[in-house]
Amino acid sequence: MSDLILVIDEGTTSTRAMVFQRDGGCVATAGAELTQHYPEPGRVEHDATEIWAKTLAVTRAVIDQVGGAEKIAAIGITNQRETIVFWDRETGQPLAPAIVWQDRRTATTCRALKEAGNEPMVQAKTGLLLDPYFSGSKIGWAMAHWDAVKTAGSRLAVGTVESWLIWKLTGGLHITDATNASRTALMAIGSGHWDDGLIELFGAPRSALPEIVDCAGRFGETRLFGAPIPICGIAGDQQAATIGQSCLQIGETKATFGTGAFVLSQAGPIPPTSRNRLLSTIAWQIDGRRAYALEGSVFVAGSLIKWLRDAVGLIGTAAETEALARSVPDNGGTFLVPALSGLGAPWWEPEARAAISGLSFSTGKAHIVRAALEAMAHQAHDLKTAFAADGVDWASVRIDGGMVANDWMAQDMADILGVNVERPKFAETTALGAAMLAGVGRGLFANLAEASAMRGHVETFTPHIAETTRTARLDGWRSAVQRVIAPD
């Protein structure tokens, strides 16, 4: 049997395919950007047909690079979480746009449910809070507002992006894994099953939901590429990154800086309870047994740099940001709170909007860019404070994602957090985690601990700024955030 593992990594701004060897080496890769649609302020949509077409194209490309489907032992899939797709079981075509995790259209609904006293029940059952971020309110909104969805009846299928891709790959298998299901606000994370009370609360169609399965196993196969290839690993992107960073022991913590920023700390077999507005989520489920994590979710990270490049024109490429940050001794009193789609944890202010404060005639482009990069460490510090208050302080942090190739940002993270920051040589840990799961599911590894050898070498950044400098930065950040949360 071949030991090559193909991973589909379907993200928010791009979809990619990668092929890994058993030792973690990446031998083929292809990617394509996805179009972001913003029909109204606060609304973010994707075209599920585009997601499928581009995923299919990049998958074919890497299969060709390694010599054909017969060379592939298994497929692993990882995906942007909470984004929800609606399609027709008979035609296999989308019925409406996919509503993206960043979308805020259900803010009023979530506020009303919260004011009616539903949040304690939702948190107790799901580990989540009442926020537009999660899929349940998106599904209810579509059932109420999109005729093609609400009139589809038994033809309607609803699922997160991995569910959509598996349906298309297999020709009709309707499943979702436990990690993605845990982000819908429709699943009771203690039992691992859909919850009737939550389904009724959000107005979701029970019959349209997929079957919940493990993260590693054999979940059908695809015959679209010649020889059949089994699908053996499935996980939401942040859980996959947690696995790819080998955060397998209680307390081990990773922070991913992609479109958003997401920190997960391994919590073991018992769902953690947060009193500081963090989330309890499923880290993975194998053989019906679940491991849990405590999570803090930041909505805007790499998308801030993309916005500075594409919408504002302040930079030409993301790579310029490191040199610009190094070109000035400090931020010049400038702070950028990147609430372009609201504030996530620990604030959970969906209608907050971004702001740049402290501008003067001495402020230049470099100060604003530096403030944007500094916001990554500042937001991470807000989460660290909340984690510590929940009894899960970080001894160190393992970082990954597209942004962390920036050495200045990695060092700034260590300085502001005050702990060592580890960065793997191979930073695509989301795809690596999906490969590890698929390897376990296919029998290439006995368990995740054995598969963790795929992670490879790491670099370590240690804190070295003066405490007075660190304190001044954090004080300025807190003031900037308060102006966004409670403007005059």
Q: If pLDDT is split at 50, 70 and 90, which confidence band does 42 have?
A: confident
Nearest alpha-carbon partner for 340 in 366, 377, 379, 370? 379
Residue 488 has pLDDT above 60, yes or no: no
Residue 152 has pLDDT above 80, yes or no: yes
Rounded mean pLDDT, 63-82: 94
The predicted pLDDT at position 324 comes to 95
- The tokens describing 135, both together, are 């899929």
Rounded mean pLDDT, 311-319: 90
- The tokens describing 354, both together, are 């971004």
Strands (DSSP E) contained in 139-288 are 156-160, 175-177, 187-188, 193-194, 211-213, 221-222, 229-236, 253-257, 261-268, 279-286
The predicted pLDDT at position 141 comes to 96
The predicted pLDDT at position 250 comes to 87
Helices (H), 215-327: 237-244, 302-310, 320-326
Domain of residue 195, CATH code: 3.30.420.40
**What whole-number distance in Å separates Cα of residue 72 and Cα of residue 183?**
30
Residue 116 has pLDDT above 60, yes or no: yes
In a domain, 249, yes or no: no
In a domain, 39, yes or no: yes
In a domain, 478, yes or no: no
Cβ atoms 219, 263 nearer than 8 A: no
**What whole-number distance in Å separates Cα of residue 118 and Cα of residue 109?**
12
Counting residues of the chain whose pLDDT is more than 90, the rounded percentage is 74
Residue type present at position 317: T
Rounded mean pLDDT, 383-405: 89
**355 bridge partner residues:** 337
**What whole-number distance in Å separates Cα of residue 423 and Cα of residue 409?**
11
pLDDT tens digits, 177-190: 999 999 999 999 98
Q: If pLDDT is split at 50, 70 and 90, which confidence band does 1 have?
A: low
**235 bridge partner residues:** 78
Assess whether the previous peptide bond of 346 is cis (omega < 30° from 0). yes
- CA-derived radius of gyration, the chain: 21
In a domain, 131, yes or no: yes
Straight-line distance from the first to the last Cα atom of the chain, in angstroms, rounded to the nearest whole number: 65
**What whole-number distance in Å separates Cα of residue 65 and Cα of residue 133?**
37
Pairing of strands 396-400, 253-257: parallel
Nearest alpha-carbon partner for 438 in 235, 282, 268, 241? 235
- pTM of structure: 0.85
Enclosing domain of residue 203: 4-237
Residue type present at position 394: W
For residue 456, report the phi and psi dihedrals to the nearest 5 degrees. Answer: 80, -160
356, containing H or E segment: strand 355-357
The predicted pLDDT at position 273 comes to 86
Cβ atoms 252, 360 nearer than 8 A: no
In a domain, 38, yes or no: yes
**What whole-number distance in Å separates Cα of residue 283 and Cα of residue 266?**
7
Rounded mean pLDDT, 120-140: 92
In a domain, 270, yes or no: no
Q: Domain count for the chain, please give it.
A: 1
Rounded mean pLDDT, 362-372: 94
pLDDT tens digits, 190-205: 889 999 999 999 999 9
**What whole-number distance in Å separates Cα of residue 158 and Cα of residue 94?**
10
In a domain, 113, yes or no: yes
In a domain, 220, yes or no: yes
**What whole-number distance in Å separates Cα of residue 480 and Cα of residue 61?**
46
